[in-house]
Amino acid sequence: MHLVDSLGRHPTLKYVCNLHEQGLAIATDAYAQVRGFGAGLVTTGPGGTNALTGVAAAWLDSTPCLFISGQVKRADLKRESGVRQLGFQEIDIVSMVRSITKYAVTVEDPSAIRFHLDRAIHEARHGRPGPVWLDIPLDVQSASIDPDRLHGWLPGEETVIDLCEAADKVLSTLSMAERPALLLGNGIRHAKAISETIELAERLNVPVLTTWKAADFFPESPVSH
């Protein structure tokens, strides 16, 4: 409730209301594919579970998305009580989405909201991109905070890949193949390397296969030179 109210009151943030959470999740995924990042907001319980299909699509296609769900008050969380539900429409959505997100957490400390937002957005956009999920209890949403006193999150030392070594390994493996072929996918689009990939395919002169997300890299008919 507080998240929705704050979103509606924001002077510059433009939002799109969807008729169903599944549609919202798929729209968020599609928006992120075009614009580079997307965010969606759902309610607790069925709002979260309805969004799972779109989150799974973003996970499989490596699309950077942030999903935020409401949750019951911290005092109403079932935790280890042994019951299946304590709060109204309570569901442990984080456990459900953990296997199809890069980062998923219930924010129980209001002062940690910037930390989790910073980390979630970084995880979604860096490395192999993908969806992330923040679950925010109702009383955490309504808590008073001082934005200037919030602690953020800074990424640790990034893993550095020796591109020359990696390229030599790929070329060595390719040279030993009896029937070499290239299987190209959506990672090439994320890396903004479509033109380089086309040039590589032309130089190697080997069969090229694509996933459906990379089907538009090449013309349907061969180009004569």
Evaluate whether residue 220 is within a structural domain: no
In the DSSP assignment, the letter for residue 65 is E
**Can you read off the two tokens belonging to residue 161?**
């890949």
Q: What is the chain's pLDDT, residue by residue, as a tens digit (225 residues)?
A: 899 999 999 999 999 999 999 999 999 999 999 999 999 999 999 999 999 999 999 999 999 999 999 999 999 898 988 888 888 899 999 999 999 999 999 999 999 999 999 999 999 999 899 999 999 999 999 999 999 999 999 887 666 678 889 889 988 998 899 999 999 998 898 888 999 999 998 898 889 999 988 989 887 776 554
Give the residue numbers spanning the domain of 84: 2-149
Q: Which residue has the tokens 């479509």?
A: 194
Residues 63, 101 within the same domain: yes
Task: Determine, yes or no, domain membership for 74.
Answer: yes
| CATH value at residue 32 | 3.40.50.970
Do 178 and 139 lie in one domain? The reply is no
Asked if residue 62 is part of any domain, the answer here is yes
**Phi–psi pair at 151, nearest 5 degrees:** -90, 130
Contact 180, 158 (CB under 8 A): no
Indicate whether 157 belongs to any domain: no
Length, in residues, of the chain = 225
Give the pair of three-digit tokens for residue 173: 């493996």
